[in-house]
């Protein structure tokens, strides 16, 4: 007891901040996060693939897998099929992992979300690049609508419908459809 030293103020303050961050993290309801995600995406819903700011807003709000980072996007609007090309940066191991069809689910999910929010988009293409090699992952509206069942655009008609749609995408095991 004679050697007891009072902790410095900065140490106590840091510990308090960490404890508060953990408490807040546990307090945030996953349902609220899903609602916020849906609302952020719906702000950018657009009839036209050529609406650069809306399409960019959708792409920026998507969730990408670990070790995959947004790079840039391109809109192919000259003639049908209209497409969005999203360029993503990654490392070689991650690129190799996502070349396998069974591992493409996060990109399929993102493509379905984009197709539900961009009415006249026909194709969504993700290009994974590790700096020396690249891999194209492409999904079509017809492919997605046949798998999900029905017009994707209708699923984003309201926040409530879109939230249910996003929950369905999370809960249903969606195999990657064939060509």
Locate the DSSP E strands across 23-179: 69-76, 83-89, 123-129, 134-140
pLDDT, one tens digit per residue, over 112-156 is 999 999 999 999 999 999 999 999 999 999 999 988 888 999 999
**What does each C-alpha distance from 160 to 106, 154, 173 come to in angstroms?**
22, 12, 22
Angle between helices 105-117 and 141-148 (to 10 degrees): 100
32 or 73, which is more confident: 73
CB atoms within 10 A of CB 46: 18
Phi and psi dihedrals of 24, rounded to 5?
Answer: -65, -40
Rounded to whole angstroms, the Cα distance separating 86 from 79 reads 18
Determine the pLDDT at residue 17. Answer: 74
Rounded to whole angstroms, the Cα distance separating 5 from 86 reads 56
Task: Give domain limits for the chain.
Answer: 31-171
Q: pTM of the full predicted structure?
A: 0.79
pLDDT, one tens digit per residue, over 6-38 is 656 665 667 667 766 666 655 555 555 667 899
DSSP state at residue 46 = B
Determine the pLDDT at residue 14. Answer: 74
- 135 forms beta bridges with 128
Q: Which residue has the tokens 């994974």?
A: 128
Determine the pLDDT at residue 56. Answer: 97
């Amino acid at each position: 007891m004679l050697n007891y030293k009072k902790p410095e103020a900065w140490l106590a303050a840091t510990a308090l901040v960490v404890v508060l961050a953990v408490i807040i993290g546990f307090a945030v309801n996953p349902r609220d996060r899903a609602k916020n995600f849906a609302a952020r995406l719906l702000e950018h819903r657009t009839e036209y693939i050529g609406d650069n700011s809306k399409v960019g807003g959708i792409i920026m709000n998507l969730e990408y897998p670990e070790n995959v980072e947004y790079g840039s996007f391109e809109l192919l609007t000259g003639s049908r099929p209209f497409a969005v090309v999203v360029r993503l940066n990654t490392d070689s191991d991650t690129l190799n992992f996502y070349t396998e069809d069974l591992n493409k689910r996060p990109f399929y999910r993102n493509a379905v979300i984009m197709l539900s929010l961009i009415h006249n988009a026909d194709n969504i293409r993700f290009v994974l690049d590790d700096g020396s090699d690249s891999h194209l992952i492409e999904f079509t509206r017809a492919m997605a609508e046949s798998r999900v069942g029905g017009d994707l655009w209708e699923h984003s008609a309201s926040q409530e419908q879109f939230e249910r749609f996003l929950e369905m995408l999370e809960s249903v095991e969606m195999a990657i459809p064939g060509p």
